[in-house]
Amino acid sequence: MAMIKINTFFTSLMILLAFFGVAVGGTVHKVGDSSGWTIMGVNYKAWASSRTFQVGDSLVFEYNNGFQVGDSLVFEYNNGFHDVTEVSHNDFQLCEPSKPLARYHTGSDTIIPGHCDIGQKLQILVLPASLGPVAAPVPGRVR
């Protein structure tokens, strides 16, 4: 009985994953191209303006982290000293966090440790999905 439930679960999971892959589709964009996601001299505004982003596309942030495939990365911080701040478009442009739309303090959110001020930020315009069906991204088709 337990074996039937496990097989049914995995079959359902595979169908869901297959559907999700077809439904998502789109182009995979490697942020920063060969430089990746770094604080060292990449103009992310120019990078983003040189591409067209559509609903269903994916962004890949590659960075030199010294980890191996299969390792897990957990981002934790001391929420007594740091937080995650959501800001308006204008405040994003100015790296101005003093009038936040929201502030998160869980200790396990994504953080920006001063990199915004030195240009490591990304803003993209996402256009509606194309009218035709979109195939799942092909491995290696990274722009």
Tens digits of residue pLDDT in 6-31: 444 444 444 444 444 434 468 999 88
Highest-confidence segment of 31-40, 43-52, 77-86, 126-135: 43-52
Give pLDDT, residue 46. 93
CA atoms within 13 A on the CB side of 86: 6
Question: What does the pLDDT look like over 52-95, one tens digit per residue?
Answer: 999 888 888 887 665 544 444 454 567 777 777 778 888 888 88
Looking at per-residue pLDDT, the higher value among 106 and 27 belongs to 27
Residue with the bigger pLDDT between 39 and 133: it is: 39
In this prediction, residues 83-108 reach a mean pLDDT of: 82
The pLDDT score that the predictor gives to residue 48 is 92
Check residue 140 and give its pLDDT: 57
d(CA 67, CA 64): 8
Q: What residues contact 66, with CB distance under 8 A and at least 6 apart?
A: none
Maximum mean pLDDT: which of 9-13, 35-39, 130-134: 35-39
Structural domains present in the chain:
27-75+111-127 (2.60.40.420)
- pLDDT: which is higher, 91 or 140: 91
> Contact, 29 vs 51, CB < 8 A?
yes
Give the pLDDT confidence score for residue 13 in this predicted structure: 42
Sign of the torsion formed by the C-alpha atoms of 98, 102, 106 and 110: negative
